[in-house]
Structure 1
Amino acid sequence: MVTAEDIRDRQEEFIFRCDNFELQELIDIKPKNGVYIRSKTEPFDDDMVIEENRVRNWLTHFNLPMHQIHASGHANGIEIREMIKEIGPKKLIPIHTEKPELFFK
Structure 2
Amino acid sequence: MRRKKDEEQVSRLIAEKENLIEQLDYRNQSYMKLYEENNQLKQELKTRREETNNLEAKLSAQLSMKRDLENKNTGLKYALEQANKHIDTLRKELFGSDGE
TM-score norm. by structure 1 comes to 0.19
Q: Which has the higher strand share?
A: 1
Structure with max Cα Rg: 2
Higher relative contact order (CA 8 A, sep 6+): 1
TM-score norm. by structure 2 comes to 0.19
Q: Which has the higher helix share?
A: 2
